[in-house]
Amino acid sequence: MEFLHDLTIKKFHEGLKKKKFSALEITKEFFDYINDKDKEIEAYLSLNKDFAFKQAEAADLAIAKEEDISELTGVPLAIKDNILIKGLPSTAASKMLENYTASYDATIITKLENEKAVFLGKTNMDEFAMGSSTENSAFKKTKNPYDLERVPGGSSGGSAAAVASSMAIAALGSDTGGSIRQPASFCGVVGLKPTYGAVSRFGLIAMASSLDQIGPIAKTVEDAAILFKSIAGKDKLDSTSVDAKYGDELLNPKLENIKKLKVGLPKEYFIEGLDDYAKKEIEKAIDKIKSLGIEIKEISLPHTKYALSVYYIIMTAEVSANLARFDGIRYSRLKNLEPRNLLDIYLKQKGEGFGPEPRRRAILGTYVLSSGYYDAYYSKAQKVRRLIRNDFDDAFKEVDIILTPVSPTPAFKIGEKTADPLKMYLSDIFTIPLNLAGLPGISIPVRKYEKNKELPVGFQLIGKPFQEADILGLGQFYDRIT
């Protein structure tokens, strides 16, 4: 199984073209490895063996017929369990959807199926993507492959852990406040949150609709770019999606263009509270970027201090609206509730179906939207959200990319923060502002880390809207010197 650890999308594609192996052979190898490895990691909620074998056979048939194939043909991927695949379970790691089978494909799934990618299974997550550790799943707790006593991050913890432990070549996650980037940082892999609107959200189980975005988790920045390019684009089924044009510069950046970019370091992100180990690692990343001949300067994002408060008002408000649909009539109904009337269905379904975190957020969201409090909380939060976006707009007049930490700490111990939701929420303090502003951001490991010896740390590159090429380009050159 050792060769699975070295497989990237790029290497897999080259091996497939040269017929060193078939897609079906590799898919079977992955399932054998998952059967052994996932007993300790618990990254997957469900596996799609028959489905995946059919996809792999279709990829091999296309190669046998000498058809044009993409770089994703036959590539074994893991899919976060809030992204719909027709005919397969989509639980969002909640008892509420434990018996739900998707009746249609998400748009990004359709795109990947057209490229003949292979879907190994659905990965664990915080329930309805609400959490920073994957401890809020209703079904299991995923472990960090670098230390089994620590969390993988969240909410896309299963996807990040699957890639980091070589149980998938790459994966898809969703990011509402850091849910791709933070687990990528904790698990020593690459995680990209695209610009809001760059990727269709049709078929994503919604958490907070003005913040959610689907993106790739991969072993290398180049792989993340390959996967991003395949899923990006306008979708008539998602009115918030944008027809942004992404050219060859995503996959073939030129060093002379990268050297022209200016990188900003916001003083508000390098503050007291940043873990010493994480700070030293981030400083190493800054030094390596300087070694590429790139200019770095200090900038200011003065409204950063309000981002966490603003996020937890806007996000909970949208959560309360999005969770209202799970009423016991549509989707799936919990068994053995024996309701006496319609109100009883609602009360018992929601009481039994939702875990503590979705309940907490729905209650808070209903409160901030209620009569007498809407102007004091929600309306004011939206105004401050605009100020946060203005800060970024002003900063991008001086620089092209902004570099920050991803999280104040490396991965923390399982159970360490579950008793104090506020401590858990602080895990996303450096990632949340991007979602509020709708900007692209990528988490990149500072260096290659050794499992069972070191805890990974990622740094974050933030780009201008729809300028993923800048952060992916710099990231690819950074990969080459680490």
* Residue 116, domain extent: 2-259+401-480
Q: Is 179 a catalytic residue?
A: yes
**pTM of the complete model:** 0.96
Catalytic residue (choose from 94, 133, 155, 174): 155
Q: Is 159 a catalytic residue?
A: no
Q: Is 451 a catalytic residue?
A: no
Pick from 384, 395, 402: nearest CA to 440 = 402
Return the structure tokens found at 92: 């969002």
Is 340 contained in some domain?
Answer: no
Per residue in 412-448, pLDDT (tens digit) is 999 999 888 888 888 899 999 999 999 999 999 999 9
Residues in the chain: 482
Is 371 contained in some domain?
Answer: no
Catalytic residue (choose from 22, 37, 80, 156): 80
CATH code for position 205: 3.90.1300.10
Mean pLDDT of 164-191: 98
**138, amino acid identity:** A
Is 194 contained in some domain?
Answer: yes
Q: What is the mean pLDDT of the chain?
A: 95
Catalytic residue (choose from 179, 241, 427, 443): 179
Number of domains in the chain: 1
Residue 262's SS3 state is: strand
Return the structure tokens found at 270: 């390098």
Is 329 contained in some domain?
Answer: no
Compute the Cα dihedral for 78, 83, 86, 89 and give only its sign. Answer: positive
- pLDDT at residue 269 in the model: 94
- Please, are residues 460 and 408 in contact by the beta-carbon 8 Å criterion? no
Return the structure tokens found at 372: 């007498």
Is 98 contained in some domain?
Answer: yes
- Work out the pLDDT band at 281, boundaries 50, 70, 90: very high
**Rounded CA Rg of the chain:** 21
Is 396 contained in some domain?
Answer: no
Mean pLDDT of 60-82: 96
What kind and span of H or E run contains 90?
A: none
